[in-house]
Copies of this chain bind each other. A is one copy, B any other.
Amino acid sequence: MDAQLVLPDEVEVVNVGLPMFADAIRAQGRPVQQVDWRIPAAGDEQLVGALTRLYGTAAADVDAANAEVLRRLDEGVPSLVGVSRAADVVPGVPGRTLLHCGPAIEWGRVCDPLRRSMTAAVVAEGWAGDVEEAAKLLGAGDVALEPANSHDMVVPMASAIGPTAPVWVVQCRQGATRAFAPINQGPGEVPWFGRDTDKAIERLRFLRDVAGPALTQVVDSAEPLDVFSLAAQGVSMGDDLHMRTQASTNLLIRTWLPQLAELPEPGRVELARFLSGNHLFYLTLVMAAARSLTAWAGQVTGSSIVTTMSRNGTDFGIRLAGSDTWHIAAAPPVADALYNPGYGPEDAAPDIGDSAVLELTGLGGPAAGGSPAIAAFLGGTMADAAAATEGFRLICAGRSSRFTLPPLGFAGTPLGVDVRRVVELGITPKVTTGILHAGSGEGQVGAGVATAPMECFTAALLDLDGRTSG
C-alpha cells in the first residue's frame, strides 16, 4: 500500500535544551516533550577543558580507579565488632578533644546548634560545671575541636563527641579498615539536635554509663552483625536508612532480643525503654558501616568518586577517593522543607551532619525509591520517591548489588557519586535531612532537602584534573 501524505491533526514537539521554547509551545496548548539537555558544566571553559580530559585522555585511568572504588563500596562487608568508649578505640584523640560533624572549624565560626552540642558534651565530660563555663572553655581554645571524619568517625546532625562517649566499632575485614559512630542519642531533648539543657546533658551520661556498657555486653555475646546485610533487609521493608531506619532498628532489636533479655539489672529495663522509643537507633550504626567502606574505597587514587561528604552547619565539604584535600563551600539551606507548626525558613540552621556518607554508599537519597515513608515526605507518591533515586542515578557511576528497590523492579540503588557527572550535568546530590533551630536551642523544627553546593564539586574536579594530568 502506498503511503499517502496526510497533514497531521496533532502537532507534537520535542524540544531539546532551553525550556523556554517548550514553555512557549505549551502556552499555545500543544503537546511538547522537553528534553532537559544543558551545555556541559554550563559552558565554563576551564571546567569543559577538565571534563574533556577526564572523559578523554584520562578516562581509562579514571574509569579503572572508579571501578575499584565501586567494587569496594559494593563488596565490602562491614561487621559490628564492638562498642567502646571513643578514647579507647578511636585513633589520635588525646585529652580534651571533641570530635564534631563536618569539616574542620574553629569555635568562632561554629553554628549555634553545634555550639550547644559542644557545651553539652563538655559538661557531660566533667570539664565544666555548666554550659556557660563550657562555652568559656571552648572560647578560650581549651578544648581541641577535630572533624570526626578525620578519625574515621561519622556523627549525625549537630553531634560533638567527647572521649568517654560510647561508639560503635565497625570493621571492614577486606579493607582492614575500622570506622566509628556514636550510639544514637534518640529523640527529644538531645545534643545532636542542638540542645544543651540539663536533660540533654543527662542523655549523654545515660549513654556513657548505662547504654554503652549494656550494648558492649550485647554485642560481645551476640553473633557478629553484618550491618549492611541487615540494612538491605531494611531497604526491602521501606527504610532509606537515613531519614527512616525503623525496619532495620526493629530487625536489630529482634535479632538481639535474647542478649537484651540476658542483661542484668540495673540497666536492662532502662535500655529497653530507650531502644523501644528510638526509631533512628540504626542510623549511626549504618553510618559507621558506610564510613568503614569509604575508608577502604578512599585509598584508591585517581578516582572521580566522592568518598567524603559532610557538613557542620557552617561549611559543606567533600573529598574524592585518593585525596585528603577537603573542598569546601558554605553549608546550603535545607529547602523543600516541612516545618513544625510555628516555625519557618527564618528559624532554620543550614545543612548539618556527617550522615550524607550514606548517600555515597547507596543509601539515603539513592534508596528513596523503595520507601513509602520517604515518598510521603517528598510529595506523597512513590513516583516522588523514585525521582529522588533517579536524581542519584544520573550522577552515580554504578549500582549497588545488595540494596535493591522492589517498587523499581528490584533495581540496585545508585552507587558512587562521580564528580565528572555532577559537574557535567550541573546536578549535585540532594540529601533529605532534619532542620535544627538556628539560634534558640529548641532542637529540630522541621525536615527538608539540602542540595549540595556546586562549588565543592567543581573544585574537586579541577583538583583531580590537575592530579591526573600532572
Contact = CB atoms under 8 A, between A and B. Distances in A.
A236 interface: yes
A24 interface: no
B1 A4 contact: no
A236 B410 CA distance: 17
User: Copy number in this complex?
Assistant: 2
Nearest to A381: B409
Interface stretch (A189-197, A257-265, A311-319): A257-265
Contact of A275 (B247, B257, B372, B381): B257
A275 B254 contact: yes
Contact of A276 (B9, B258, B375): B258
B276 A269 contact: no
Contacts of A255: 276
**Most chain B beta-carbon neighbours within 10 Å: one of A262, A372, A409:** A372
A237 interface: yes
A337 interface: no
A251 B247 CA distance: 8
A257 B260 CA distance: 9
A386 to B, nearest CB: 11
A211 to B, nearest CB: 13
A268 B276 contact: no
Interface in A229-273: 236-238, 247, 249-251, 253-258, 260-263, 268-269, 271-273
A53 to B, nearest CB: 43
Contact of A1 (B1, B9, B268): B9
Contacts of A254: 249-250, 253-254, 275-276
A382 interface: yes
A306 to B, nearest CB: 30
B258 A272 contact: yes
B261 A272 contact: yes
A256 to B, nearest CB: 8
A176 B410 CA distance: 44
> Which residue of A250, A255, A382 has the most chain B CB atoms within 10 A of its CB atom?
A250
A261 B250 contact: no
Nearest to A406: B372
A261 B268 contact: yes
A345 to B, nearest CB: 29
Contacts of A257: 253, 257, 260, 272-273, 275-276
A372 to B, nearest CB: 4
A27 interface: no
A407 to B, nearest CB: 5
B269 A262 contact: yes
Interface string A367-401: 00000110100000110000000000000000000
A7 interface: yes
Interface in A414-437: none
A10 B199 CA distance: 74
A71 B6 CA distance: 56
A375 B409 CA distance: 11
A61 B382 CA distance: 39
A250 B257 CA distance: 10
Nearest to A279: B254
Contacts of A249: 254
Most B Cβ at <10 Å: residue of A1, A260, A375: A260
Contacts of A247: 237, 247, 250
A19 B204 CA distance: 70
B261 A406 contact: no
A128 to B, nearest CB: 34
B375 A406 contact: yes
A384 to B, nearest CB: 12
Contacts of A1: 7, 9
A6 B409 CA distance: 40
Nearest to A233: B246
A1 B249 CA distance: 65
The 3 closest A-B pairs by CB, nearest first: A261-B272, A250-B250, A372-B406
Given A237-B237, A256-B276, 15 more contacts: A236-B373, A237-B247, A238-B238, A247-B250, A250-B251, A250-B253, A257-B260, A258-B276, A261-B268, A261-B272, A262-B269, A372-B410, A375-B406, A382-B407, A382-B409
